[in-house]
Structure 1
């Protein structure tokens, strides 16, 4: 008893209004069921069954034609009234919006600017073409001048060559005249075939005379086998003074070649030929045993 009393004492209190809530719930459900029942009954009464039927006669009969009204009497044509010229109705002037006017003005300005730029480009092309034609004309003038100078130089060269040839011909003519004039005083023999007044070479005995003058000045004490020849070229002035001497062909004995060259230098001058001249240059052959 005490335990049961303790439990009831510490149990939560009962919720108030439980019965009232239960009654309200039952009432709400009843109203909902009544509303649904009324809706179903209303739909059943609103439905109407529609049916069609066709009637057929036992004996087929044709219907009589419908009564047609009489045709109307023709109406006489009306006289055409004289045509009167009516002035055309002027179209109403519609004020254009300012935006369209501004756009059209901007379009015109752009077109004018493009036209101006096109004209400038055409003018620039024209000036460039004129400048190119002028440059070509200058080049043609330069080429013409260059060709004229080249022709002038060729003409001068031809003139100079002609003058040189004329001088050569004149000199040759003078030589021919001198040769023809001096043929009477020529000193050649009866069988001579030359055209000069005197022979350019020495006489037949001149080489022996030169060797006879140079050989006493040769100092050579060595003994050699054979009789080798040393050929020497001697150049002299008009009076016979020895200017230079050189060995043309060696004898094979160096001591003999040097002895000959020393003897020529010691001789200093060569004798004159039979015509009083000293031919130059001359070549002489010296042998040690001659």
Structure 2
């Protein structure tokens, strides 16, 4: 709805000389009205109409009505001659009215008519221009309103799209965090299960190793005892043993009497130990010999409890490399007992 200010804004600009043109137009119109009034007034009287009429008889008389029933008959009268009604006279012709012959317009009338037509055209042109201006401004206003509406719609659509994208990102982050947590939980469960399996396997391996160690220690102890028995059994044959021998065989079935001394003489120079030793620790080492007395392998079967002495004893065996033969015989495997006070035997 257009307000008063809007109407003032859309009003056409004032034409210069409008007042003077308006006064001249009013004077011209007044003169035209006066001339027309004078021209109509002197032609208002009509010419007299001539009417002719002819009379044929007196005023016509109506016939008597017929007699009614139960009325006494009227006395007979002399018959009267029948009177015929006269025909109505013809209507008079309408009066002839002479048409007024219009006079030719004067130059002033033509000028006034042209001026009036020009003023009307100018007024129409101004009204048309004002209407077009109003339509243009209304169109611009509608365009601005439509642009503002489109901009608002775009902003709302962008906000809705941004909000939707934010919700999608939030859902994706939540999903990723949930999946990461589930993955971490699965990994933790797998790690715990693996640790439990490893612990079980380690425990089983430990038990197996302990069982194997016990069996190996038992076997080593048995072999050590057998070796010690072989080294200690210095039985001699008849005529070749000592006076205190109690054997019945022709000769000793174990190492010779002087074989332990020969081993002691081979191993003792290779012992290098500078630390102070408390007591008499003993290290038992099992060696495997070749046919020429060369040491093929060694293994500590019983430790002394002193790691330094065990290492010195093992190094002494490594340095010896070869043990003497017992009259061409090889006792393999053989256990050598090494201690600070004695190298072989208890």
Identify the TM-score tier after normalising by the shorter chain. Answer: 0.3 to 0.5
Q: TM-score, normalised by structure 2?
A: 0.27
Q: TM-score, normalised by structure 1?
A: 0.32
